[in-house]
A and B are shown apart, each in its own frame.
Chain A
Amino acid sequence: MFENTLSIMIFLPIVAGLALMVLPVGREAARAAGLVVAVLVVILGLKVFINFTGAGGLEFVEKTSWFAYVGVNYSLGVDGISLLVLLAGACLFPMVYLLLKTKSKGFYANLLLTQGAMIGAIAAADMVLFYIFWEVMLLPIFFMIGLFGGPNRLPATLKITLYTIAGSLLMLAAIVYVGVSYHAQAGVWSFDIAELSKLSLTGPAATAAFIFFMVAFAIKIPLFPFHTWLPDAYTEAPTAATFVLSAIMAKIGVYGVIRFVLPIFAEDFTRYALILCYSGVIGMMYCGIAAIGQKDFKRMLAFSSASHMGIIAVGVFCMNLQALTGTLYQIVAHATSTGVLFLLLGIIEERMETRTISDLGGIAYKAPIFAVFFAVAMLASVGLPGTSGFIGEFLIILGAVKFNMMVGVLAGTTLIIGVCYMLWMFQRVFFEKSNTRTEGFKDLSAIETLTILPIVVLIIVMGIYPQPFLARITPAAAEHLAAVSTVQQQLADTTVPVMEQTTQKN
């Protein structure tokens, strides 16, 4: 059965989700089923991670011809670029089933569907297949927010849906363009990602396609100024959906940029990299500063998450090995830390029935274990050495300094901006005096503790011993950058003024 590991990881949740929708089962049964499936996916995900050799190229390949007349295949595979994204998508879900309660079984069904589709998008080795999963993963999110969200869920749902559909349409057009271009150059049809990556498209049409792709992914990440759907959607979504959106789905946007835009549009990418970097750092600063003005805990975390996504994106646009590796690493680091933060917030919301920061206080005295877990995730989020957050952020800043000193300095301010809002929030929620509401806050139960503990341990282990992860992703990142560096060299010869700083030897 293990030749089809990836397919199982994709379709086990999808089939289970569909089955839950039609079968007459109760809410708790659905939760149990979801948990079993999620755990199975974790096991498979770990198996993929452990057996991954990192020799370069795709591993765990599955390939079946699908629409042969246009060269579309059902093909899956994992390489160093997608490995950690896949790991994040596979391993974090059991927490959701264990920690958060919801009103109906339909929610669990949707959660399963999302997970399957997301793993599909990550593992797809064919661009059309990627697009299909990309679209499918939006649907359950739509239902989760629209049906189970907060009081203002409908405008939020509408906004996120319109945004992402607009992005998707642009991406579809770009995919068609890329496919047609490949056909024109090679004489045969193919949507195989590895084949398409050999293309180097230039000219006005290519630039348009590049922009289409970038907009689609920028919306998903979200990159400033395409982020305005995020605060509403993250805040109104049920916490489990927020978790999915922030911890995993946003990363697929970054992954898409690395996977498609970087190799295929190497020239345009290089040309616009500086602007994109600024978009990333401005987004980081803007959202980070906005976070301090929030009264709603969840909205604050939403802005915080968006702020860190800005830095993660910068790592891609700097186009050097350290920054790109840092981004790929930070994808998991951010998924774990933000994921834990959102889930713990979900617990606060369930127990206190409020998310307003000023209503809380003194939780650390009532719930020390809860506070310690929260603190570890928070420190990882602000990039403290010894946690996973530091490795990624340090590599990104290091790479950014090389790419452009100004970008490096601005990216570095994340060190300061992050602690400002986080510590202030921590003070008001966990320290100071407890009030009548928080007086009754119960600490994590044994099961809850054991559920979060592995992720908290992972956060620390990834900070102290990151090499098993880095060793698996670095070769793929280097290979991926090879395409760009030749373009950089050419552009340097034709003297494009903006690029002067980036043309130093790698």
Chain B
Amino acid sequence: MEHTVSYLVLIPLLPLLGALLMGLMYLVSCKGKAFPEKIYGIIACIGPALTFILALKVYFGLKGLPEDSRYLVQDVFTWIKVGDLDISMGFFADPLSSLMLLFVTLIGTLIHVYSVGYMAKDENFGKFFAYLNLFLGSMLILVLGSSPVVMFVGWEGVGLCSYLLISYYSTETNNVIAGNKAFIVNRIGDLGFVLGMSLLFWAIGSGGFDYMSLRANAEQIGPGVGLAICLLLFVGATGKSAQIPLYVWLPDAMAGPTPVSALIHAATMVTAGVYMVARFSFIYAEVPAAGTVVAWIGILTALLAAIFGCFQRDIKKILAYSTVSQLGYMFAGVGVAAYSAGIFHVFTHAFFKALLFLGAGSVIYALHHEQDIWRMGGLKNKMPITYWTMLIGCLALAGCPPFSGFFSKDEILFMALASGHGGVWLVGVLVAAMTAFYTFRMFFVVFHGKPRDEHAYEHAHESPKVMTVPLIVLAVGACFAGYLNIPSIFGGHLGVSHWLAPSLTEHHPHVSVWLEVLAVATSIAAFGCGIFFAWKKFYVATAEEPFYTGLANFAYNKFMVDELYHYLLVVPYKLLGTAISKSIEPFVTDGPVKVVVWLYGALANAFKVVQVGYVRVYAIYMVIGLSVLSIFISRSLNL
């Protein structure tokens, strides 16, 4: 059994044990003197670092296997066995999960290190790292789970950690509400996941519910059921990965500490939906209609979020909407059955978006928790490392060649065009231009021009090494990650796509070179346009926030979607709850009961009239009764 290994379980287990240990330390010490931050910091970082080493081991382990049987498994114990349902607590690594594993553990480790600096002097330092380790453990369960149900454990686990970390500063009501929103919206998606999973089980699950068996039996799924499964699973993905109509939680999730936004709400957790669709590519590939839905939802989300991104003033919210937008690209990729392109964008995006968030965190840290870009400006000289790394991140996000984002985004757009989804491609190009625009709008306003808040500017300073070193490492990634998957037009050979090929069910369409040239040219042109407009408008020293009217104001207010949901869903739901407890419960459901009680009482009152309490009256009753009885007896005996 060369495929069975014994170290896979350690990958999620190490961070989970770290979380448990730190959680207990925190609880034990929270009444007295807290443990020093150094101890927490070491425990917090050691688990993720070890998982990265194990991730490398997994990668090389897979590499040593023949290409057509690259997988490693470990079944730890039988988890749920009821009749045909037989799920083991098992872990499964193939090229797809190994790629996810590599960047999740690498970026996870870097962000843990960064957080040690960012969260210094926080009074709940231990709790924060317990949550962060718990998150990483859950994320790794999600990536490595050998069956959809084990994956769901991680899936919900990361949701829980997301909730805990969004509402981390829980004395502020709005932060907690943001956390609740994230959890509840994710739960709506999870309903889809559970139902999709159930349908999948009843379709082919009796032959084994792990991914390998499912893939082997995928052909037995009927087309109708297949479509239902795909769409239900995608509902789950829209929740976790913030797509229309469930994207609303992600911008609010920025209430959490910035490293959390970088790790959970940019680099790792939110891409879980894309990973899931790629993981189920063996079903999605059979149902092109589902893929089309996924692609269109994705690209429309990308467009919507890009529009909002152009108007935001909170640096983290701009990045949040850009995340939603980039996630939309990824879904467009997996939707047009270019699973490897989608996953590759997940991979590059993790680097540059984590970099951007950590850079933003560095700015926020320097300006004492100022997040409004219209109160920043001219930080270029004060924070050189942050400036240069952020520049790399922005170029990658905007899709400037030769940075990583260019290659991955271009691959998606090209595949959309090549697979005949012209509309998706066209919207995608438009969004690419908008991405460049809003990215550099933010960049120019924050780092160039004159400081808008002199006082904050005076006190600004470069962040400590523990924060800048992760920035530099991520910047290297954002620069060069794209070279792992260079298309043939640039003389590459799509290394990542080939690596992923055994895990995915995808076909590469053969199209003319000119189509590819066209795609690349339009992408570059879109980037150029976007950055040009941003430069013209915001690269001036005195740029101020424009005054928005009309449609722009509507977009500034995010099309009132949050308000719409609030009045359409939340308010009626609460009203219904109140109505039930105030009116329906006492009068409708309890009404018949009360009527019965009342009737019983009325009957008793009616009889009460004869119960007067005087012996003489009762004597009369007795006489009457005896008379009637004697008449009755005499009649019946015919006397």
Q: Using a CB–CB distance below 8 Å, which chain A residues touch chain B?
A: 159, 162, 225, 227-228, 231, 286, 289-294, 303, 321-322, 325-326, 362, 364-365, 368-369, 372, 379, 384-386, 390-391, 394-395, 397-398, 401-402, 408-409, 412-413, 415-416, 419-421, 423-424, 427, 431-433, 443, 464-467, 470-471, 474, 478
**Nearest B residue (CB) for A166:** B596
Q: Which residues of A contact B590 (CB under 8 A)?
A: 228
Q: Which of A291, A294, A369, A415 contacts B187 (CB 8 A)?
A: A415
Q: Per-residue 0/1 for B5-36: is the Cβ within 8 Å of any A Cβ (1 yes, 0 no)?
A: 00000000000000000010011001100000
9 contacts between A and B (CB under 8 A): A368-B26, A368-B30, A390-B156, A401-B202, A408-B198, A415-B191, A427-B177, A431-B167, A466-B80
Q: Which residues of B contact A416 (CB under 8 A)?
A: 184, 187-188, 191
Q: Which residues of A contact B580 (CB under 8 A)?
A: 286, 289-290, 293
**Nearest A residue (CB) for B188:** A416
Considering only residues 73-125 of chain B, those with a C-beta below 8 Å from chain A are 77-83, 85, 89
Question: Which 4 pairs of residues, A with B, have the shortest CB-CB distance?
Answer: A293-B577, A292-B577, A431-B170, A293-B581
Q: Which residues of A contact B593 (CB under 8 A)?
A: 159, 228
State the Cβ distance, A184 to closest chain B Cβ, in Å: 35
A397 touches B194 (CB 8 A): yes
Considering only residues 146-171 of chain B, those with a C-beta below 8 Å from chain A are 149, 152-153, 155-157, 160, 163, 167, 170-171
B578 within 8 A of A: yes
State the Cβ distance, B346 to closest chain A Cβ, in Å: 23
**Nearest A residue (CB) for B83:** A321
State the Cβ distance, B82 to closest chain A Cβ, in Å: 5
Q: Which residues of A contact B153 (CB under 8 A)?
A: 385-386, 390
State the Cβ distance, B571 to closest chain A Cβ, in Å: 12
With contacts A293-B574, A424-B180, A427-B177 taken as known, whether A386 is within 8 angstroms of B27 at the C-beta atoms is: no
**Dominant SS among interface residues on chain B:** helix
Q: Which residues of A contact B83 (CB under 8 A)?
A: 321-322, 325, 474, 478
Q: Using a CB–CB distance below 8 Å, which chain B residues touch chain A?
A: 23, 26-27, 30-31, 77-83, 85, 89, 149, 152-153, 155-157, 160, 163, 167, 170-171, 173, 176-177, 179-180, 183-184, 187-188, 190-191, 194-195, 198-199, 201-202, 573-574, 576-582, 585, 589-590, 593, 597
Q: Which residues of B contact A379 (CB under 8 A)?
A: 160
State the Cβ distance, B86 to closest chain A Cβ, in Å: 11
Q: Which residues of B contact A293 (CB under 8 A)?
A: 574, 576-582
Residue with the greatest number of chain A CB neighbours at <10 A, chosen from B83, B89, B155, B202: B83
State the Cβ distance, B222 to closest chain A Cβ, in Å: 13
Instruction: State the CA gap A390–B201 with chains docked (Å).
Output: 17
Q: Which residues of B contact A420 (CB under 8 A)?
A: 184, 573
Q: Which residues of B contact A398 (CB under 8 A)?
A: 85, 198, 201
A401 touches B589 (CB 8 A): no
9 other contacts beyond A159-B593, A386-B157, with CB at 8 A cut-off? Answer: A321-B83, A397-B195, A409-B195, A415-B187, A419-B183, A427-B167, A467-B77, A467-B78, A467-B80
State the Cβ distance, A4 to closest chain B Cβ, in Å: 33
Q: Which residues of A contact B149 (CB under 8 A)?
A: 394
With contacts A362-B171, A402-B202 taken as known, whether A419 is within 8 angstroms of B184 at the C-beta atoms is: yes
Q: Which residues of B contact A364 (CB under 8 A)?
A: 170
Q: Which of A369, A384, A431 contacts B160 (CB 8 A)?
A: A384
**Nearest A residue (CB) for B585:** A290
Q: Which residues of A contact B194 (CB under 8 A)?
A: 394, 397, 412, 415
Q: Which residues of B contact A470 (CB under 8 A)?
A: 80-82
Q: Which residues of A contact B576 (CB under 8 A)?
A: 289, 293
Q: Which residues of B contact A402 (CB under 8 A)?
A: 198, 202
Q: Which residues of B contact A415 (CB under 8 A)?
A: 187, 190-191, 194
A423 touches B195 (CB 8 A): no
State the Cβ distance, A321 to closest chain B Cβ, in Å: 4
Instruction: State the CA gap A394–B209 with chains docked (Å).
Output: 15
A465 touches B585 (CB 8 A): no
Instruction: State the CA gap A294–B578 with chains docked (Å).
Output: 7
Instruction: State the CA gap A321–B590 with chains docked (Å).
Output: 35
Instruction: State the CA gap A335–B116 with chains docked (Å).
Output: 41
Instruction: State the CA gap A294–B579 with chains docked (Å).
Output: 10
State the Cβ distance, B364 to closest chain A Cβ, in Å: 23
Instruction: State the CA gap A497–B61 with chains docked (Å).
Output: 56
Q: Which residues of A contact B157 (CB under 8 A)?
A: 384-386
**Nearest B residue (CB) for A449:** B27
How many residue pairs, one in A and one in B, have C-beta atoms under 8 Å apart? 142
State the Cβ distance, A95 to closest chain B Cβ, in Å: 20
Q: Which of A225, A303, A432 contacts B170 (CB 8 A)?
A: A432
**Nearest B residue (CB) for A286:** B580
State the Cβ distance, A118 to closest chain B Cβ, in Å: 26
Q: Which residues of B contact A424 (CB under 8 A)?
A: 180
Instruction: State the CA gap A432–B173 with chains docked (Å).
Output: 6
Q: Which residues of B contact A289 (CB under 8 A)?
A: 573, 576-577, 580
Q: Which residues of B contact A413 (CB under 8 A)?
A: 191
Instruction: State the CA gap A291–B78 with chains docked (Å).
Output: 37
Q: Which residues of B contact A394 (CB under 8 A)?
A: 80, 149, 194
Residue with the greatest number of chain A CB neighbours at <10 A, chosen from B79, B153, B195, B582: B195
**Nearest A residue (CB) for B597:** A162
**Nearest A residue (CB) for B581:** A293
Instruction: State the CA gap A354–B30 with chains docked (Å).
Output: 26
Residue with the greatest number of chain B CB neighbours at <10 A, chosen from A293, A322, A433, A467: A293
Q: Which residues of A contact B170 (CB under 8 A)?
A: 364, 431-432
Q: Which residues of B contact A162 (CB under 8 A)?
A: 597
B589 touches A228 (CB 8 A): yes
State the Cβ distance, A29 to closest chain B Cβ, in Å: 33
**Nearest B residue (CB) for A420:** B184
**Nearest B residue (CB) for A287:** B580
State the Cβ distance, A268 to closest chain B Cβ, in Å: 24
Instruction: State the CA gap A294–B31 with chains docked (Å).
Output: 33
Q: Which of B167, B177, B201, B589 contacts A225 (CB 8 A)?
A: B589
Q: Which residues of A contact B190 (CB under 8 A)?
A: 415
Q: Which residues of B contact A391 (CB under 8 A)?
A: 80
With contacts A292-B573, A385-B157 taken as known, whether A231 is within 8 angstroms of B27 at the C-beta atoms is: no
With contacts A372-B27, A394-B149 taken as known, whether A474 is within 8 angstroms of B187 at the C-beta atoms is: no
A322 touches B171 (CB 8 A): no
Instruction: State the CA gap A322–B77 with chains docked (Å).
Output: 20
Q: Which residues of B contact A228 (CB under 8 A)?
A: 585, 589-590, 593
Q: Which residues of A contact B579 (CB under 8 A)?
A: 293
With contacts A293-B579, A379-B160, A427-B177 taken as known, whether A412 is within 8 angstroms of B79 at the C-beta atoms is: no
Instruction: State the CA gap A478–B85 with chains docked (Å).
Output: 13
B180 touches A474 (CB 8 A): no
Instruction: State the CA gap A413–B184 with chains docked (Å).
Output: 11
Q: Which of B82, B167, B202, B573 contacts A325 (CB 8 A)?
A: B82
Residue with the greatest number of chain A CB neighbours at <10 A, chosen from B82, B578, B582: B82
State the Cβ distance, B372 to closest chain A Cβ, in Å: 25
State the Cβ distance, A302 to closest chain B Cβ, in Å: 11
State the Cβ distance, B131 to closest chain A Cβ, in Å: 12
State the Cβ distance, A438 to closest chain B Cβ, in Å: 13
Q: Which residues of A contact B79 (CB under 8 A)?
A: 465-467
Q: Which of A291, A412, A423 contacts B183 (CB 8 A)?
A: A423
Instruction: State the CA gap A62–B80 with chains docked (Å).
Output: 33
A401 touches B171 (CB 8 A): no
Q: Which of A368, A412, A431 contacts B27 (CB 8 A)?
A: A368
State the Cβ distance, A289 to closest chain B Cβ, in Å: 5
Instruction: State the CA gap A303–B580 with chains docked (Å).
Output: 11
**Nearest A residue (CB) for B575:** A293
With contacts A289-B573, A293-B580, A433-B171 taken as known, whether A443 is within 8 angstroms of B201 at the C-beta atoms is: no
Q: Which residues of A contact B82 (CB under 8 A)?
A: 321-322, 325-326, 395, 470, 474
A471 touches B574 (CB 8 A): no
State the Cβ distance, A103 to closest chain B Cβ, in Å: 29
Q: Which residues of B contact A321 (CB under 8 A)?
A: 82-83
State the Cβ distance, A463 to closest chain B Cβ, in Å: 9
Instruction: State the CA gap A6–B31 with chains docked (Å).
Output: 44
